[in-house]
Amino acid sequence: MAEVKRIPFMRYRKIAAVFSITLVLLSLASIAIQGLNFGLDFTGGSEVQVEYAKSVDIGSVRSQLQAAGYDNVMVQNFGSDRDILMRLQNTQSATIGDDILAVLQKDGSDVKLSRSEFVGPSVGEELREKGGLAMVLALIIVMIYIAFRFQIKFSVGAVAALVHDVIITVGFFSVTRFEVDLTVLAAVLAVIGYSLNDTIVVSDRIRENFRLIRSDDVDYIIDVSLTQTLDRTLMTSFTTMVVLLALLLVGGELNFGFSVALLVGIFIGTYSSIYVAANVKMALKLTKEDLMPPEKPKEDGVEEIPSWLKD
C-alpha cells in the first residue's frame, strides 16, 4: 500500500509546545501586572451625541475636543455623517453634554445636543462578571459536547486549545493597551466558536483515520489527518482574515477592537487547531483502542463466522 501524503507536523510538537507555553505565560504575566485597558462599557463614563446641520469631518471634531482638553475621547459617526457620538471615560459631570456642545459651537457650527448619558461603574463591574462567566460556561459546554461526540481525550485537547487562544488574545490587548469594550468581548467569544469549529473538523478526520489506516503510529495518523485538512483550514482562515482586514481599515474606530481581536484570535486559533489540540492528544497517550466502536454482543444461538471465511 502506497504511503499517504503527509507533512510531519508532530516532528516539531515539542518546539510548538514550548512556543505556546511561553506565549501563555507572557500573556498571563502582562494581564496580572498591568491588567487591561477597559473601555467605557466596563469603567463607566459619559456618552454624548450631537447632530450637525450638515456633514462634518470626524477628525476636525476630535481636534476641537483635544484643543479644549478632552484628550481621551472616542469620536465616531452614529447613523449618518451628520450625527456624532462621543464617549468619555470616568466622566460624571452633569453638564458634560452642554460643555461639549459649547466647545463644538465655538467655530460657528450649527450643532445641537441629541442626548447625554452616564454609564455607572457598577454597570461595568456587572458586565465584567457576566462576560467572564459567559466564557467559562462556553468552555464547559464545549468540553461536555466533544466528550460525548468523540472521546474525553479529544475534549481535553479542544478545551486546552480554546483556553490557549483566549489567553493569548486577551494578553495581546494587555500588552498593546488597546481598549477593551463589549465588541472585544464579543470577538473573544467568536474566537471560541471559530477555533472550536476548526478543531472539530481536524478531530473528526483523526478519528476517521484511526479506524481506516492500518498503523499503530499515532504521530503518523495525526500528521496524515492534519495534512488532509490543511487546505481547508488555511483557506477558511485566509478568507476570514481578508474580510476582517477590510473591516479594520474602513470600519472606523467603533470596529477597531473587534477586528483586531478576531484577527489575532483566528491566527492563533489556526495554529492551535494544528498543534495545541493534537499535542494534548499525544500527551494523553491517544491510541486506536480509544476510538474503536464497542463490540456488539453476540446473540444467543448465532455462531460467529470463522476468521478464515471472512478472509
pLDDT digits (tens, 9 = 90+) for 151-203: 788 888 888 888 899 999 999 999 998 888 888 888 888 888 888 888 888 88
Amino acid 2: pLDDT: 47
- Report yes or no: 63 and 121 within 8 Å, Cβ to Cβ: no
Please report the pLDDT score of residue 300 as a whole number.
52
| pLDDT band for position 268 (cuts 50, 70, 90) | very high
Integer Rg of the chain from CA: 26
- Helices 256-274 & 182-212, crossing angle to 10 degrees? 20
Q: What is the pTM of this model?
A: 0.76
| Burial (CB count within 10 angstroms: exposed 0-12, middle 13-18, buried 19+), residue 94 | exposed
pLDDT reported for residue 20: 93
Show the cell assigned to 1.
500500500
Question: What's the pLDDT at 304?
Answer: 54
- The answer to which of 100-104, 156-160, 195-199, 297-301 has the lowest mean pLDDT is 297-301
The predicted model gives 10-39 an average pLDDT of 91
Is pLDDT at 101 greater than 60 in this prediction?
Answer: yes
Average confidence (pLDDT) over 246-258: 82
Check: CB of residue 248 under 8 Å from CB of residue 259.
yes
Q: Report how far residue 64's alpha carbon sits from residue 75's, in angstroms, rounded to the nearest whole number.
A: 11
Q: Is the pLDDT of residue 36 over 70?
A: yes
Per-residue pLDDT band for 288 (boundaries 50, 70, 90) equals low
- Mean of all residue pLDDT scores within the chain: 80
